[in-house]
Amino acid sequence: MSSLRDSLADLDEEAVLSRVREDLSRRRPAVEILDELREGMTIVGRKFDRNEYFLSALMMSAEIFKSAAKLLEPEISRVHQREALGKVVIGTVEGDIHDLGKNIVVAFLESAGFKVYDLGVDVSPGKFISKVKETKPEILGLSCLLTPGFESMEATIRKLSEAGLRKRLKVIIGGAAGAVVTSDWVDRLGADAFARDSGEGVRLAKTFVKALKKRN
Amino acid sequence: MTSRERIIKALNLQETDRVPLILWLGVHAASVAGISLRDLIFDRRKSEWAWKYSMMYYGGPDMIYGSDIADIPVWLLLTSGSGLCPRTLTPGVDGYPENAPIQILEEPPLMEPEDYDLIIERGIDGLDELVAKKCEKKTVQVGSRKVTMPFETAWIEKEFKTWVPTVQEFERQDVPVQGSAIFVPTDILALARSLRGLVTDLYRRPDKVKRACDRIAQDLVVDALDYSRWLNLQDQSQPRLVDIIPERSSPIYFGPKIFEWAVLPYMKQIGRKLTDLGYSVKWHCDSDWTPGLSYLLEVAEFLPKGKCYFAFAGETDMMKVKKTLGDHVCVSGDVPASLLKLGTPKEVKRYCQKLIRAWSEGGFILANGCEIPLDAKPENVKAMVDVAKSTALRK
C-alpha cells in the first residue's frame, strides 16, 4: 500500500482521503498527517519542475490537498497558527477576474506552510493596503492576466510605499500578462520579483522570508 | 503579389515577396479610433468606422478575421460554443466600466458532473439548453442552433446582415477572410464546467469526458460549416479558413497523457473532416504549446499539405516551433500582447525581425499573439506593420 505522501504525489484522491480518515481514526496527530501531505505536494511541485507534471496535475493536487485538509479541521488551523512559515497576502489586481494561476500558487504556498490571505479577484489597491496593515505579511502577491493589470499593480505598489508599508514587505508579481516581463519591468513597477509559476513563487517567498528573518 | 497569393504561398511553405501580415485588431480598434469599447460592441456604425479607420491608420493586413469588423457580438455569433459564455462582464453593461476589458465569469460552473449524460445524448444542443435554463438571457438563432447571448441581442441579427457585404468586399479585393470559429471539445467542456471542474473530471470520470468529447466533436464540424455558409463565403476562392481554438487544451494544461486521449484525436478528426470538405484550418494556439510541438507536427502531417497553419500567441518558444514545425507547416505569430503594451517600437521591431529571419525561406505569417490589447501603444503596432511590409524575404 502506498504511503499517504506517495498517494498524493500520484494524485490518487481516493487513496489519500481514505488514508487520512484511517489515520485520524487511529488518532495519528493531525500535524503529522499534514506534514506528510505537504511532502506529497512538494513531490508534485518537483515533478512539475521536471516537466513530469503539468497544470492539471497541480490543480488536481490542490483539490486533493484541500479535501484532505478539510478532514483535518479544526486541528489544521491551530497547526497553521503555530507553525506558519510566513504570511502572504495575495490577489488578482483591480480590473481583472482571472484566478487560475493565483489559486494554484495559493494552494502551494499553504501546503508549503505559509499562512495565506487570499483576497480573490478584482482587488483594489485600498483592499490590499488594509489587509497588509491588518495582517502584517512578509509577502504580497499580485497577479494579472490582462495587460491593464500592470497599471493596477503599479498603483498598488505605489500606494503601499506612500503608506509606509514597503520596508518589511516583499512584492512578488505573477500571471500570464508577464510574458515579456524582465527585471527592468519588475523595477519599473516597483516590485521585488516576478514569479513565472507556482514553484518559483513558493521558492521566492521562502527566500524573502528567510532574508527578512535574518535581517531581524 | 496579392494578399491572397501571399497567404496561400505561405500556407504551402513557398517563397513570398515579403512576409504576410495578419493583425487581429479586435478591441484595439476602439482606442485607435477614440471610441469607447462599449460603442465598439453595441454601435455597429461606430464599430465599422473604428475598424476601417484603424486599418487605414496601420495599413491593411493580408488576411482579416471576419469577426474583427464588429468584434465581440459577431465573434459570438460566429463561434460555436460561445453560447456557453453567458456570464460576461461587458463594457457599459450593468455598471461595468465602458472601457474595461470583456471578461468571462466561469465560476460557479454552468454544468455539473451529472450533466455529462445530457451531452453524451444531445451534444452541444443539450449544453445550450442547460445554459438557457440556468441564465435568464436572450437567445439568438445562429444557423441551426439557438444560442444564449451574454447581453441584449435584438439588434445583432439585423446588423449582421449589413456586416456580411463589408466582409465580402475584402474577399473581392483578394484579401482572404477567416470566417467561422469553433473550440475543440475540451475547451467547450472547460467553458461549461470551468477549467477547474473539467480538470477534476479528467481524473475522476475520464470515461464520461471521453464520451462527451466524442459527441461534441460531431456537432462542431456541423457548426463550422453552418456558420461559414451563413457568411456566404463558401463559394469564394481559397483559402476558406475555419479557426479552431484549442485555447485551454494545450499539453501545458493537461500534460501528454491526458492530451493524447482528450485532445489530440479530436484535433485530427475535426481537422480532417474540414479539410476533406475543402476548408483550411487555423489552429489558434493560445497559451504555451512548447511541450506539445511534436503533437502539432502529428496533426499537421495527418492533414493535407498546405491546408492548415498554427497561430501562436506569445507564450510558446518560437525558436523551438521553427525547429519542430518549420519545414512541415506554416506558422503565424506571435508578437506578445504585453510587448505591444510595455515595449518600445525598437523592441517590437527587433522581436519581429528575429521571427522573420528564422523563417526567411517562407512558411511564416507575422501576426500579433491572439488579440491586440486595447491599451497597446499604436507606435508599437505600427512598428510591427512596418517590419512586415518593408522586409523582403530571400531564399
Residue B243 has pLDDT above 50, yes or no: yes
Whether residue A180 lies within 8 A of chain B, CB to CB, comes out as yes
Across-strand partners of A168?
A: none
User: Is A93 an 8 Å CB contact of chain B?
Assistant: no
pLDDT digits (tens, 9 = 90+) for A160-215: 999 999 988 999 998 766 655 566 778 888 999 999 888 899 999 999 999 988 87
Nearest CA in chain B to A64: B200
Residue of A nearest to B347 (CA): A180
Instruction: pLDDT band for B19, please (50, 70, 90 cuts).
Output: very high
Residue A6 banded pLDDT, cuts 50, 70, 90 = very high
A125 reaches B (C-beta below 8 A): no
What pTM does this model have?
A: 0.89
Q: For position B239, what pLDDT does the model report?
A: 78
Smallest CA–CA distance from B343 into chain A, residue: A180
Q: For residue A61, what is the nearest residue in chain B, using CA coordinates?
A: B200
Residue at A35: amino acid letter: D
Find the CB nearest A180 among B287, B343, B373: B343
More confident residue, B240 or B190: B190
Chain B interface disruption, residue of A55, A67, A96, most B CBs within 10 A: A55
Shortest Cα distance from A184 to chain B (angstroms)?
Answer: 11
Q: How many CB pairs under 8 A join A and B?
A: 80
> Mind spelling out the 3-state secondary structure of chain B?
CCHHHHHHHHHCCCCCCECCEECCCCCHHHHHHCCCHHHHHHCHHHHHHHHHHHHHHHCCCCEEEHHHCCCHHHHHHHEECHHHCCCEECCCCCCCCCCCCCEECCCCCCCCHHHHHHHHHHHHHHHHHHHHHHCCCCEEEECCEEEECCCCCCCHHHHHHHHHHHHHHHHHCCCCEEEEEEECHHHHHHHHHCHHHHHHHHHHCHHHHHHHHHHHHHHHHHHHHHHHHHCCCCCCCCCCEEEEECCCCCHHHHHHHHHHHHCHHHHHHHHHHHHHCCCEEEEEECCCCHHHHHHHHHHHHHCCCCCEEEEECCCCCHHHHHHHHCCCCEEEEEECHHHHHHCCHHHHHHHHHHHHHHCCCCCEEEEECCCCCCCCCHHHHHHHHHHHHHCECCC
Do the Cβ atoms of A51 and B291 come within 8 Å? Answer: yes
Sequence-distant (6+) residues with CB within 8 A of B180 are B66, B78, B79, B80, B223, B224, B226, B227, B228, B230, B231, B242, B243
User: Nearest chain B Cα to A47, which residue?
Assistant: B255
CB contact under 8 A, A56 and B255: yes
By the CB < 8 Å criterion, does A147 face chain B? yes
Percent of chain A with pLDDT over 90: 62
Cβ <8 Å between B103 and A63: no
Give per-residue pLDDT as tens, A68-95. Answer: 989 998 676 665 555 789 999 999 999 8
Walk me through the domains of chain B, giving residue ranges and CATH numbers.
3-390 (3.20.20.210)
Q: Residues of B near A (CB-CB distance < 8 A)? A: 89, 100-101, 103, 105, 195-196, 199-200, 202-204, 251-255, 258, 287, 291, 314-315, 336-339, 341-343, 369, 373-376
HSE-up (13 A, CA, CB side) for residue B49: 10
Average pLDDT, chain B: 86
More confident residue, B51 or B265: B265
Residues in A 12-41 with any Cβ partner in B closer than 8 A: 13
CATH of A84-215, picked from 3.40.50.720, 3.40.50.280, 3.40.50.2300, 3.30.460.10, is 3.40.50.280
Q: In chain B, what percentage of residues exceed pLDDT 90? A: 49
Q: Measured between CA atoms, how close is B3 to chain A, in angstroms?
A: 30
Instruction: Measure the CA dihedral A24/A28/A34/A40, to 10°.
Output: -90
- Model confidence pLDDT, tens digit, residues B271-323: 999 999 888 999 999 889 999 999 999 999 999 999 999 999 988 999 999 99
Closest CA to B84 of B149, B157, B164: B149
CATH superfamily of A4-81: Methionine synthase domain (1.10.1240.10)
Asked if A98 has any chain B CB less than 8 Å from its own CB, the reply is yes
Chain B residue numbers with beta carbons less than 8 Å from the beta carbon of A186 are none
Mean pLDDT of A36-45: 93
Answer with the residue of higher pLDDT: B166 or B6. B6
Q: Is B103's CB within 8 Å of A96's CB?
A: yes
Q: What is the pLDDT of residue B241?
A: 85
pLDDT grade for B168, boundaries at 50, 70 and 90: confident
**Residue B105 is nearest to which of A11, A97, A147, comparing CB atoms?**
A97
Looking at residue B385, its pLDDT comes to 96
Is the pLDDT at B79 greater than 70? The verdict is no
For the segment B109-158, what is each residue's pLDDT rounded down to a tens digit? 889 999 999 999 999 888 888 887 777 666 666 666 666 665 555 556 66
CATH 3.40.50.280 in chain A, residue ranges: 84-215
Residues of B in contact with A62 (CB under 8 A): none
Q: Percent of chain B having pLDDT more than 70?
A: 84
Q: In this model, does residue B77 exceed pLDDT 70?
A: no
In this structure, of B126-140, B224-238, B302-316, B361-375, the range with the lowest mean pLDDT score is B224-238
Contacts of A150 in chain B (CB under 8 A): 341-342
Q: Which ipTM value was assigned to this complex?
A: 0.85
Which pLDDT score, from 0 to 100, does residue B234 have? 47
Nearest by CB: A180 against B252, B253, B339: B339
pLDDT of residue B189: 93
Q: Which residue would you say has higher pLDDT here, B235 or A84? A: A84
Query: Which residues of chain A are in CATH 1.10.1240.10 domains?
Result: 4-81
